[in-house]
Structure 1
Amino acid sequence: MEIRNEIRALLQDVTKFRRDLHQIPELGLQEFKTCQYLKSVLTNLDVQEVHEVLDTGLVAVFRGNKPGKTLAFRTDIDALPVTEESGVAFCSQHQGRMHACGHDGHMATMLGFAKYLSEHPEEICGTVVLIFQPAEEGPGGAQLMIEAGIIEKFGIEQIIGLHVFPDFNEGVIACKQGGMMARNGEVTITVQGKSAHGAQPQQGADAILATAAIIQGLHTIISRNISPLDSAVLTFGEIHGGEAMNIIPGKVELFGTLRVFSDTVYEKITKRILTLTKDIATAYDCRATIDFNHMYRVVDNDAKMVAALKKVAKDSYVTSPPYLLAEDFSMFQQKIPGLFFFVGIKNEEKDYIYPLHSSKLRFDEKNLLGGIQCYVDLIHVLNEKGV
């Protein structure tokens, strides 16, 4: 995909936006400095409509003189609780916080897009709505924005978003029709037993032993209760229990994540988790409580919108495999047709190879220009008849 000169001219601004934002990472619903920076840039661009949503979200609106749809473009704005080890000169100034998932790049892409629209109003068909959404990493800012009524208030008909992605080489635009990213949920299991001296186990009910059996039992769900043709993963990554090596603990807490591509499969797995956990705990003279946090849905890309992306990305387009990663952009797609795509940032020669959420994630801002060009061109293609 050849980047047009008008978009190439944005590189200096986009680089500044990204590096400024990279230095002030903030966690979900705490993005006050970030929001202030975004609002300042939009004000300097003379964007006439900037609306505050929630405490840290923003919506900017561009209204064109030519008829067309109301299209929304969304960026996430939050960071992660990661201590940065990237070695870049513009590293995080907030200890223990980092834009380790590329959201600084997403915001810079959106601000570059806003600058382009402010300088080229003739490109706008209908209405273009830019959504700066907090808390993608948690607790789910997309749903909060939806509940705040932005889809109805601005009459949004379709929505587009992107994510920088180190699985794909620089210059690649990757997408997939239908399910591209997984539905996810969190599970917390509390096993209650009876504490006793380690030398007198018969006087207690061992919550650690029961929890070990529960973990083994739950891992049979994927292999024995779910079709091998259905993708799913259940991972327990955190466990807490016990106070001393010679005390049988009376309580253990277990934390895990569930990822699937089907609502039916998701519901089947959660039901099996409930049944197995309680029954296994009972077998060990313990009690178990299970709490689910049902988070994001499947990122399900609209077929016509994917076709539009192929048209604008041209030879830069590749079909993405499905990923069991999750994205709360999917919550918008529950309401209106949506398109979510990846922008490649991998460059092995420059050692830009680290995965998302890595403390060493790095990328070249020039790759963000491909996202801006796709956004600009999608305005026109999505307003063609029948799309």
Structure 2
Amino acid sequence: MLLKDEWREEIVENREFLHRIPELGFKEFKTSKYIFKKLKEYGYQVEKVAGTGVVGFRKGTDSSDSTIAFRADMDALALREQTGLAFSSVMENRMHACGHDGHMAILLGLARYVSELPEIGKNILLIFQPAEEGPGGAEVIVRNNLLKKYSVEAIFGLHIHPSVAEGMIAVNHGPIMAECGEINIRVKGRGGHGAMPEKGIDSIYVACQLINSYQSIISRNIEAVEGGVISVGKIAGGEARNIMAEEVCFEGTIRAYREDVYETIKRRISEINRGFELAHGVEIEEYIEDMYPAVVNDFALYNRMLEAFEEEEIEVLKPMMIAEDFSYYQKEVPGLFYILGSRNEEKGYAYPLHHCKFNFDENVLYRGVESLVRIAKMMGVAVK
């Protein structure tokens, strides 16, 4: 598909404008205002959702009255940009370092394309969703019954990613991203002099053994062919080198592709904690917060996408332990989430997501719009 020059210019303009005004989750006020205005210009029925979210709807002529939805996330990261771009962030310690500016520009590109069709088949719903980075705008949108309101039949989303070569589409069926949760543990011992450890209860020693024991869950309680991760990334305790700490706190993340595996990890963490309380005489407080479900791609939609693209355009996406709240939509309707490659080392586009120098070429935007247009045609929206 060849994009008109004026479309290309507008796609880039949209991306650059949005890149300049990165905003955190549920605070995307300027971003929301811009998206709302654009969708109105394109002739869509527009409404606000989930506070700062925006949706655009166009009714088709198909007798089924079913709707195909497309989603882009809106929020940015608390990060100081160091790209040196002419359109760098003007917001202090805020940056679009995860490609969401590109996602929005791509979905606006689809909106523009569809707006110029004299008529469409199935209805189309464009979801600009806040707070993907947290605490999760998709759950709010689903809870407010947006998908049911518009009779959504299927939903699609993409993510720009530098792990895949520029222009390639990486996709697979089944679980492609993990269910995740956050663990917060407090180990309460009894302080004392480091020279007389028998007089106290060493919470640092117990916490270290506890963290090591958690890894046995992955190696001994989960089938070897199943994926699971427990990572502790933060630990704090103690006041002086020769005083046993009264308590230690540590925090981490747990992840798995299957819900039953995820629940096993949670259960075993709690059981190990209780055992350590008995074995060491400590008190262990735990708080495990469930975050996002696993992203599980629909098999039928996956097969249809393979038919819409040439074999050389597609590569098999290996499941990743990262998380995405697109999964909440997939709990309600069949959905497909895919990776849009952006890695181009010759041009310097190889920095990872969430890096202060992350960027991508304009061609990624054009390729993203093209991919969504193909899907819209495949699903019976863009029939002309």
Question: Shared topology, TM-score over 0.5?
Answer: yes
Offset at residue 281 of structure 1 (A): 4.0
Alpha-carbon contact 2:3-2:366 (below 8 Å) kept: no
Distance in structure 2 (CA, Å) of the matches to 1:4 and 1:311: 20
Identify which of 267, 274, 280 aligns with 1:278: 274
1:261 is matched with: 257
Once residues 201 and 17 of structure 2 are traced to their aligned partners in structure 1, the CA distance between those partners, rounded to angstroms, is 55
Q: State yes or no: 1:59 paired with 2:55.
A: yes
**2:334 aligned residue (337, 359, 362):** 337
Q: What is the distance in 2 between the residues matched to 1:141 and 1:87?
A: 30
Moved more, 113-122 or 196-205: 196-205
Measured in 2, the distance between the counterparts of 1:382 and 1:282 equals 58
Q: Which residue of 1 aligns with 2:10?
A: 13
- In structure 2, the residue matched to 1:240 is 236
Q: Distance in 2 between matches of 1:11 and 1:355?
A: 25
Alpha-carbon distance, 1:27 to partner: 1.4
Segments of structure 2 that go 5 or more residues without pairing to the other structure are none
Q: Which one of the candidate residues 71, 90, 93 is aligned to 1:93?
A: 90
Aligned to 2:306: 310
Contact map agreement 1:210 1:281 (CA 8 A) in 2: no
Q: What do residues 186-241 of structure 1 show as CA deviations (whole Å, max 9, x unaligned)?
A: 11111112233434433332221111111111112111222211111111111122
Residues 1-387 of structure 1 correspond to what in structure 2 (within 5 A)? 3-6=1-4, 9-47=6-44, 49-67=45-63, 69-122=66-119, 124-314=120-310, 315-383=312-380
The residue identity in structure 2 corresponding to 1:113 is: L
| Aligned equivalents of 1:142, 1:167: Cα separation in 2 | 25
Alpha-carbon deviation of 1:5? 3.5
Residues in 2 aligned to 1:4 and 1:30: alpha-carbon distance in whole angstroms = 36
| 2: CA distance, partners of 1:166 / 1:86 | 15
CA distance in structure 1 between the partners assigned to 2:356 and 2:275 by the alignment: 40
How does the TM-score come out when normalised to structure 2?
0.94
Could you say what the CA RMSD is over the residues aligned between the two structures, in angstroms?
Answer: 1.7
Q: Distance in 2 between matches of 1:284 and 1:89?
A: 59
Distance 1:33 1:200, change over 3 A: farther
Q: d(CA) in 2 for partners of 1:157 and 1:184?
A: 26
Secondary structure of the 2:152 match is coil
Task: State whether residues 188 and 292 of structure 1, in contact with CA within 8 Å, keep that contact through their aligned partners in structure 2.
Answer: yes
Give the TM-score, by structure 1 length: 0.93
Moved more, 219-228 or 99-108: 219-228
* Moved >4 Å (runs of 4+): none
Question: Is the alpha carbon distance of 1:121 and 1:235 closer, same or farther for their aligned partners in structure 2, counting shifts above 3 Å?
Answer: farther
Task: Verify the 8 A CA contact 1:159 1:332 in the aligned structure 2.
Answer: yes
**Structure 1, residues 280-339: CA drift from partner, whole Å, max 9, x if none?**
244232111111111111211111211222222223112111111111101110111001
Alignment deviations for residues 174-197 of structure 1 (CA, whole Å, 9 cap, x no partner): 100111111111111111122334
In structure 2, how many angstroms separate the alpha carbons of the residues matched to 1:348 and 1:281? 52
Greater alpha carbon shift after TM alignment, 50-59 vs 304-313: 304-313
How many angstroms apart in 1 are the aligned matches of 2:222 and 2:379?
38
Shift in Å at residue 128 of structure 1?
0.2
CA–CA distance in structure 2, aligned partners of residues 209 and 281 of structure 1: 13
Distance in 2 (alpha carbons) for counterparts of 1:157 and 1:121: 23
Corresponding residue pairs, total: 379
